[in-house]
Structure 1
Amino acid sequence: MDLLPQSILDQLAANGRANQDRIEAGEDTLDFEPVVKLFTPDAAATWLLSETDPGDPDIAHGLCDLGLGFPEIGAVRLSEIRAVRGRLGLPVERDLHFKADGTLSTYAESARKAGGIVA
């Protein structure tokens, strides 16, 4: 399975361009719904990604939780996520059934209360 098919990469890039345009116009950025959920099947790491950097598409923005109880919104390299392996050596997977029902900040607030991403 392709971790990030072109359709997902295209949506992440479109969201990143939209926010870059807003920054350049002096406007507030948009709080997008996550486009994709990635997780380690044999560990507790989870990522909800909403956009990529227009200047460097390897940098994604989203809610990141390494399973240590401290989920936070930030940036992560997609190449690093692809290289992650869990305790049993399994690679990161995409949640094929994930459908966002809130914005990234909504998920972040829930994650802070729960001590981890609930999605």
Structure 2
Amino acid sequence: MILLSPELRTALRANDRRHRAAGDGGQAESWNETHGSFDPLPVVKFFNPVGAATWLATELDEDGDTLFGLADLGFGTPELGCFSLSELAGIRLPYRLGIERDTGFATTHRISVWAEWARRAGSILWAETLLRRAAANELPSMGG
């Protein structure tokens, strides 16, 4: 599977340009230090079909390979940061599988909300379940 369609690539690049235009560039430990007021929706979700690793990407650097977003390798510590599209595409899993893109992924939650819920829940997958339940029950969400 092609990990990024032209439409997704365009949306990710647009977010990167908006981030740079906002003057909030650079990576840091906290969301506010990293992005200030720039808080986009995740554009794409990648996952390991035989494991717990999950990535939500919001931006694609002009190099066409460096993504920014929320990464969860399945160890209970999801983190905001950069990851490589080519490295994701190069991962070989059992049964001749590779990292896949969730073609049905859509969200109304900003990346900062995903990061907060994933850190509290210990994974992006569990955060996704909790966010879906909160929306279905119209419960107040943590951080919006």
Unaligned 5+ residue runs, structure 2? 25-34, 129-144
Matched residue SS, 2:60: strand
Q: What pairs up with 1:11-50 in 2 under 5 angstroms?
A: 11-23=11-23, 28-50=36-58
TM-score (norm 2): 0.75
- Superposed CA offset, 1:33-90 (max 9, x none): 1000000101111000000123x22100000000111100000011111112334441
Matched residues, percent identical? Answer: 42
Q: Distance in 2 between matches of 1:92 and 1:22?
A: 32
The answer on 1:68 being equivalent to 2:75 is yes
Residue 83 (structure 1) aligns with = 90
Q: Distance in 1 between matches of 2:37 and 2:84?
A: 21
The answer on 1:95 being equivalent to 2:93 is no
Q: Distance in 2 between matches of 1:28 and 1:115?
A: 24
Q: Distance in 2 between matches of 1:50 and 1:92?
A: 17
Letter of the 1:38 counterpart: F
Matched residue SS, 2:120: helix
Residue-pair matches, total: 116
Q: Contact 1:19/1:29 (CA < 8 Å) preserved in 2? A: no
More strand by share: 1
Q: Distance in 2 between matches of 1:64 and 1:76?
A: 8
Give the CA RMSD over aligned residues.
Answer: 1.7
TM-score (norm 1): 0.89
Unaligned 5+ residue runs, structure 1? none
39-48 vs 82-91, which moves further: 82-91
Q: Contact 1:63/1:72 (CA < 8 Å) preserved in 2? A: yes
1:107 to 111, 114, 124: 114
More helix by share: 2
Structure 1's consecutive aligned runs of 4 or more residues displaced over 4 angstroms after TM superposition are none
Q: Distance in 1 between matches of 2:39 and 2:4?
A: 21
